[in-house]
Amino acid sequence: MFARKAKRDLTVEEQLARGPLDVPFLMLALLLTGIGLVAVFSASYASAYYESGSTSSYSYFIKQGINAGLGLIAMILISHINYQTYRIISVGVLAVSVILLILVIPFGFGKESVGAQRWIYIGPFNLQPSEIAKLGVILFFSARLSKRDTEKKAKWSKRTAMGRFLLFLDKIGFIELLPYGGVLLVILFLLYLEPHMSGMILILLVGAMLLFVGGIRLYWFFVGGGLAAGVLGLIILNTSYQHGRVATWLNPWADPLNDGFQIIQSLLAIGSGGLAGLGLGNSRQKFLYLPEEHNDFIFSIWCEEMGFIGAAIVVALFALLIMRGYWIAIHARDRFGALIVVGIVTLLAAQVILNICVVTNSLPTTGISLPFFSYGGTALMIQLAEVGIVLGVSRQAPAYRAG
């Protein structure tokens, strides 16, 4: 008889990565993904039928289903990765996103449909680099901010004027902000060249939230917020298509057949839903009346078909997902895990709030999609991958391991 080979003992890190994941967060993400697939199938039915020349009505649904399947596989695999690994790759992810944002300028497409170059072809896929840039910012900021209390402070000589000036800048926290400000400026500039206003807004919001949670001094948010608001205002005033969006938001009925057409049709769809809706699949606005009905304005179709009750259920599910995400952040094993989850959940929350505000004309149209709902392979797969990262953090939460 041969002796059985002894099994290798798991390391502490491997044991932590195999802990129980957060089931409520997982179930909420799966539920929203499932409802989103149903919404895409219903909303895209007419467009797919028209674009295929009456040969198929399921093309968008099939593609979204494949993307969802790939995203779920990625989510499961990523949830088993020790999230400390992201400290090592954070700079790499950020660098790749910057390279892709540079490449999208000469090689991108999308001018004809949205008036901006936001996608590039990578093999058989259409990739939106801004989605990777958001994740890159979250990982980079989280990795640096988690070490800010343990980093050695630079020492400046008080004997020279320059030394005293640098000491003053260090004392007020300006020098500490330079790496974060530099990263944001580079990414925002590249997004401005596309142009991609919604991406700029989301990255600013996520970056600001991470800096706030990371402990950056409060007065810098007033300074940075004022500068950001001023720059965005100048961009809107000096960019014709952005200025037109603001004018349309203020009075869409001034040009109901052109610039105001989309938002008017969106409001008609939402209003037509009433309390209980017209019924799943019974939307009228999706029959080539409402542009982007399966993408940025999919929530309007959902409201039309499922009514106020259906819309309230979806909003409640998103609210529960966001609250549960912040709960995971509070109970994370360390500061790095907490910051990652805060960044990802804040990004999801901002997209949900801004998308719903846009389709109800509470804000100007910005091109922000609704997470888990809007048609788009890159966005859905990255969102599910981000869910996997959050679940990976939850595996190591002391609250679970104590139970």
> Which tens digits make up the pLDDT trace of 78-118?
999 999 999 999 999 999 999 999 988 877 665 555 556 77
Distance of CA 217 to the CA centre of its chain: 25
Report residue 150's pLDDT band, with 50, 70 and 90 as the boundaries: confident
How much is the mean pLDDT over the chain?
86
pLDDT confidence band for 52 (50 / 70 / 90): confident
8 Å CB contact between 221 and 240: no
Residue among 147, 129, 138, 146 nearest 184 (CA):
138
Q: What single DSSP character describes residue 58?
A: -
Measured CA to CA, the distance from residue 155 to residue 165 in angstroms comes to 12
- Taking residues 53-73, report their average pLDDT: 88
pLDDT at 14 over 60: no
Higher per-residue confidence, 238 vs 323: 323
Tell me: the pLDDT tens digits for 108-129?
665 555 556 777 876 666 778 8
Could you tell me if 361 and 403 are in contact, meaning their C-beta atoms sit under 8 angstroms apart? no
- Distance of alpha carbon 393 from alpha carbon 19, whole angstroms: 10
Q: Please tell me which residue, 223 or 400, carries the higher pLDDT value.
A: 223
pLDDT, tens digit (0-9, with 9 covering 90-100), for 179-209: 999 999 999 999 988 878 888 899 999 999 9
Higher pLDDT, 338 or 5: 338
Please name which of 389, 304, 322 lies closest in space to residue 134, comparing C-alpha atoms.
Answer: 389
Position 216 scores a pLDDT of: 86
Q: What is the mean pLDDT of residues 6-34?
A: 75
pLDDT digits (tens, 9 = 90+) for 300-345: 999 999 999 999 999 999 999 999 999 999 999 999 999 999 999 9
Mean predicted confidence (pLDDT) in 156-164: 75
Tokens 């600001």 appear where?
Answer: 208
**Phi/psi zone of residue 113: left (φ > 0), alpha (ψ -120 to 50 degrees), beta?**
alpha
Residues 163-169: what's their mean pLDDT? 78
Q: How confident is the model at residue 401 (pLDDT cuts 50, 70, 90)?
A: low
Q: What is the pLDDT of residue 113?
A: 55
pLDDT value at residue 2: 44
On the question of pLDDT at 12 being above 70, the answer is no
d(CA 47, CA 193): 31
pTM above 0.85, yes or no: yes
Answer for the pair 364, 299: CB distance below 8 angstroms, yes or no: no
Half-sphere exposure of 360 (CA within 13 A, CB side): 11
Contact indicator for 345, 372 with CB cutoff of 8 Å:
no
Answer yes or no: is pLDDT of 249 > 50. Answer: yes
Q: Half-sphere exposure of 202 toward its Cβ, with a 13 Å CA cutoff? A: 32
Radius of gyration over every alpha carbon of the chain, rounded to an integer in angstroms: 23
Q: Which helix (H) or strand (E) holds 319?
A: helix 298-330
Rounded (10°) CA dihedral 357, 359, 363, 364: 150
Provide, rounded to the nearest whole percent, the portion of the chain with pLDDT above 70: 88
